[in-house]
């Protein structure tokens, strides 16, 4: 059906592992899948995907499940309560057993090491559906959406405002791959991990782009083409929610903040969003917002990922 440019990859764990050419090939395939879904209806006929969920999900579960169905395959949902990994079976054994049954594994977990260990022991492709460290499928979708909205990504600037979390990490890894500058504004105690920043800056230097860290949202957003935020308290951090609200005071994306961005700037959020916390409702539902186009594109980009990893 198509030449597979991802032959050197068994898994998708981090955008850092991909080249700029591989990301562009993914985007071209996702564009084709979105424009002509009928051409790919049976591309994964007879293929199966095991989906391991330690964390609840709307977009990840539905997009992967629907995506496999639309490609002619089958997705099986497995919560930690449904499989023996939740009762003490080792990740090694789970990976070995699932590899005998399915053609791929998607995992959405807390610890990043869970996904990396699954990949180490599985003999089928493993896709990182989210960990506390990284969220590659979402960030790839985000940059695909930017490409769709602007026609190109080269030379554009994305400003991320909020918690230096898994979303922030993957956006920093993705920027250099698509030729974009990334600015990050967080409170000092919520900086992205230093080792991620270092790796992303090395990638950026090689790509001719930049990664910058700021204390004030206004500095990051000034002239930016994309303004991005995420919830202040992610899953597993609910006990910190009230403290985080205090600590992130001044980091809400408001119409006033958006006015500092480029006049054609768009607003993005990986969802779910908490209107009135990290983003003002006038922004989330306003003319800048592309959050629902972004959410829809999870389906198309992940179908392309599934085709590249499972159609071999």
Residue 270 assigned ligand-binding role: yes
Q: Give the largest CA-CA distance in the chain.
A: 55
Residue 48 assigned ligand-binding role: no
Based on the residue annotation, tell me whether 163 is a catalytic residue of this protein: no
Based on the residue annotation, tell me whether 36 is a catalytic residue of this protein: no
Residue 57 assigned ligand-binding role: yes
Residue 128 assigned ligand-binding role: no
Based on the residue annotation, tell me whether 168 is a catalytic residue of this protein: no
Based on the residue annotation, tell me whether 142 is a catalytic residue of this protein: no
Residue 59 assigned ligand-binding role: yes
Query: Out of 16, 112, 135, 225, which one is annotated catalytic?
Result: 135
Query: Out of 270, 273, 280, 302, which one is annotated catalytic?
Result: 270
Residue 273 assigned ligand-binding role: no
Based on the residue annotation, tell me whether 41 is a catalytic residue of this protein: no
CA 246 to chain centroid: 27
Residue 235 assigned ligand-binding role: yes
Based on the residue annotation, tell me whether 312 is a catalytic residue of this protein: no
Give the contacts of 100 (CB within 8 A, at least 6 positions apart): none
Query: Out of 147, 230, 252, 302, which one is annotated catalytic?
Result: 230
Residue 131 assigned ligand-binding role: no
Residue 84 assigned ligand-binding role: yes
- Sign of the CA dihedral 71, 76, 80, 86? negative
Query: Out of 16, 103, 108, 169, which one is annotated catalytic?
Result: 108
Query: Out of 11, 298, 300, 302, which one is annotated catalytic?
Result: 298
Residue 63 assigned ligand-binding role: no
Residue 136 assigned ligand-binding role: yes
Residue 108 assigned ligand-binding role: yes
**Residues that are catalytic:** 108, 135, 138, 230, 270, 298
The binding site comprises 57-60, 84, 108, 135-138, 166, 230, 234-235, 270-271, 298
The binding site for carbamoyl phosphate comprises 57-60, 84, 108, 135-138, 270-271, 298
The binding site for L-ornithine comprises 166, 230, 234-235
């Amino acid at each position: 059906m198509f030449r597979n440019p991802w032959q050197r990859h068994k898994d998708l764990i981090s955008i850092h592992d991909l080249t700029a050419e591989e990301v562009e090939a993914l985007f071209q395939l996702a564009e084709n899948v979105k424009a002509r879904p009928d051409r790919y209806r049976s591309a994964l006929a007879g293929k199966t995907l095991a989906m391991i969920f330690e964390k609840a999900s709307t977009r990840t579960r539905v997009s992967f499940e629907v995506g496999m169905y639309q490609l002619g395959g089958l997705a099986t949902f497995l919560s930690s309560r449904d499989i023996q990994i939740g009762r003490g079976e080792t990740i090694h054994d789970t990976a070995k057993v699932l590899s005998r049954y399915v053609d791929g594994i998607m995992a959405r977990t807390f610890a990043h090491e869970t996904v990396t260990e699954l990949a180490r022991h599985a003999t089928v492709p493993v896709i990182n559906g989210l960990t506390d460290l990284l969220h590659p499928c979402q960030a790839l979708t985000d940059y695909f959406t930017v490409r769709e909205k602007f026609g190109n990504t080269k030379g554009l600037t994305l400003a991320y405002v909020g918690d230096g979390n898994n979303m922030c990490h993957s956006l920093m890894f993705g920027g250099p791959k698509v030729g974009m500058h990334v600015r990050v504004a967080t409170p000092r105690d919520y900086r992205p991990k230093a080792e991620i920043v270092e790796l992303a800056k090395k990638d950026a230097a090689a790509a001719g782009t930049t990664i910058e860290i700021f204390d004030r949202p206004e500095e990051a957003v000034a002239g930016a083409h994309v303004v991005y935020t995420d919830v202040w308290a992610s899953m597993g951090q609910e006990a910190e929610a009230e403290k985080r609200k205090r600590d992130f005071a001044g980091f809400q994306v408001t119409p006033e903040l958006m006015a500092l961005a480029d006049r054609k700037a768009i607003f993005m959020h990986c969802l779910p969003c908490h209107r009135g916390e990290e983003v003002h409702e006038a922004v989330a539902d306003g003319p800048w917002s592309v959050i629902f186009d972004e959410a829809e594109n999870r389906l198309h980009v992940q179908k392309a990922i599934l085709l590249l990893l499972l159609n071999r």
